[in-house]
Amino acid sequence: MADCIFCKIARKEIPAKLVYEDRQVVAFEDINPQAPVHTLVVPKSHFPTLNDVGAEEEGLLGHMTLVATRIAKDKGLHATGYRVVANCLEGAGQSVFHIHLHLLGGRRFTWPPG
Stretch that binds ligand 5GP, among 25-33, 41-49, 61-69, 105-113 (CB under 6 A): 25-33
Rounded to an integer, what distance in angstroms lies between the CA atom of residue 19 and that of residue 33?
A: 15
6 or 28, CB closer to Zn ion?
A: 6
95 or 110, CB closer to ligand 5GP?
A: 95
Contact 42, 27 (CB under 8 A): yes
- Minimum Å distance from CB 60 to ligand 5GP? 18
Contact 103, 68 (CB under 8 A): yes
Sign of the Cα pseudo-torsion (59, 96, 11, 66, in order): negative
Binding-site member from 71, 77, 87, 101 for ligand 5GP (CB under 6 A):
87
Let me know if 78 is a catalytic residue: no
CA atoms within 13 A on the CB side of 102: 20
Stretch that binds ligand 5GP, among 18-26, 44-52, 56-64, 94-102 (CB under 6 A): 94-102
Rounded to an integer, what distance in angstroms lies between the CA atom of residue 98 and that of residue 67?
A: 17
Binding-site member from 38, 44, 46, 75 for Zn ion (CB under 5 A):
46
Q: Using CB under 6 A as the criterion, which residues of the chain lie in contact with ligand 5GP when the complex forms?
A: 5, 16, 28-32, 40, 87, 93-96
